[in-house]
Amino acid sequence: MKDLNVKISNPNKHPEQVFRKPLARHLSKIQKRRLATVSEQFEGLLTSLMLKSMFDKSNGLFGKDSYGGDYFQSIFEMQLGDYIARNKSLGIAKQIYRNVTGEEFDPSMAMRKIHISQLSMAKIKNKTGQGKAIQPSMAALERLSKYENIINAASQKFGVQDSLIKSIILTESAAKENAVSKTNAKGLMQLMDITAESMGIKDVFNPVENIFGGTKYLSSLFGLFGNDLDLTLAAYNAGPENVKKHNGIPPFEETKNYVKRVKAYLNFFGD
C-alpha cells in the first residue's frame, strides 16, 4: 500500500484542527437554541438507555415477575434520564454543543416549555371547506377521558400543553390504545417502531409509555422547528425530513388534512 500524502498549509497545526471548525459565527440564535435542546435530549436518552441496561441486569427495580413493574420502570428510566441530563449532567450535552459551536453550553437556551398560547393560535380555524365544524365523536372523547391523568403528567413533564396531546391522540387513533395503522404506526399516538425505540419505549401499546414517548417526541419536534405549530404537526405526520425538504408543510393531502384536523380539535378544547 502506498503512503497517502496530505498537504497541510500549516505544518504545526494538528490535522484534527484543520477539519474541525466551530460554527458559532454561522449559526443563528434559534439554531443554537435548537442545538442546545437536541444536545440535552440526546444526553437524556443516552442516560435512560444506560439506566435501562443497568436495571435489566438486576431484573428491574420491581423484580422480574412483578405486575406492572416494567410499566413503571420505563417511566422511571425516562424521567430519571431527563432529570440527570438537565440537573446533574454527564457533560455529554456540553461537549456536543462546544464541539459544534465552539462556545460554552448554556442550559437556559434549551427549549423545554411549549405552550399553545405562545404559538400562532390566532390562525387556527375550526371550519372545513364546506363550513362544517370538525369535532371528535362522543365515543372517542369517552375513551380519551381514561387517559386524563397520564396526559396531564406527560404535559407537565415535557412542557407540551395537554390539549395538544389530546388533539393528536384523537387525530391519530381516536383514543384507541391498540390501534395499528397501514404503515404499522402503533398505539394512542401512533408511533413507528423506530420512533418508539428512540424514545426508550419498551411496550408501545402501554398507554403510559406511548403517551410519554409520543409527547417527548413531539417536544423534540417543537425544538427542531422553533416552536412552529404547523411545522411541528406536519413533521409528526410526515416526518421532519419531509418538512425540511419542502421548507414547510409538505404538499401531501394527508398531511395538510392532518394539520387542519389537529388544530380544529385544539379549537374544540378552547385553545
**Can you spell out the DSSP letters for 125-177?**
--B-TTSPBP---HHHHHHHHTTHHHHHHHHHHHTB-HHHHHHHHHHHHTT-T
User: What is the pLDDT confidence band of residue 271, given thresholds at 50, 70 and 90?
Assistant: low
Predicted TM-score (pTM) of the model is 0.57
Q: What value does the mean pLDDT take over residues 167-187?
A: 95
pLDDT in tens, 140-171: 999 999 999 999 899 988 999 999 999 999 99
Q: Name which of 232, 241, 242 is nearest 263 in CA terms.
A: 232
Question: Where does the pLDDT of residue 101 fall: very low under 50, low under 70, confident under 90, or very high at 90 and above?
Answer: confident
- Calculate mean pLDDT across residues 256-260: 95
Indicate if 172 belongs to the active site.
yes
User: Which of 43, 36, 13, 58 has its CA nearest to residue 109?
Assistant: 36
Q: What is the DSSP letter of 227?
A: T
Domain boundaries, the chain: 1-110, 112-271
**SS3 at position 78:** helix
- The CATH number of 112-271 is which of 3.30.70.20, 1.10.530.10, 2.60.40.10, 1.10.10.60? 1.10.530.10
Q: Which one from 43, 77, 172, 209 is the annotated catalytic residue?
A: 172
- DSSP string across 25-75: GG--HHHHHHHHHHHHHHHHHHHHHHHHHHHHHTT-TT-TT-TTHHHHHHH
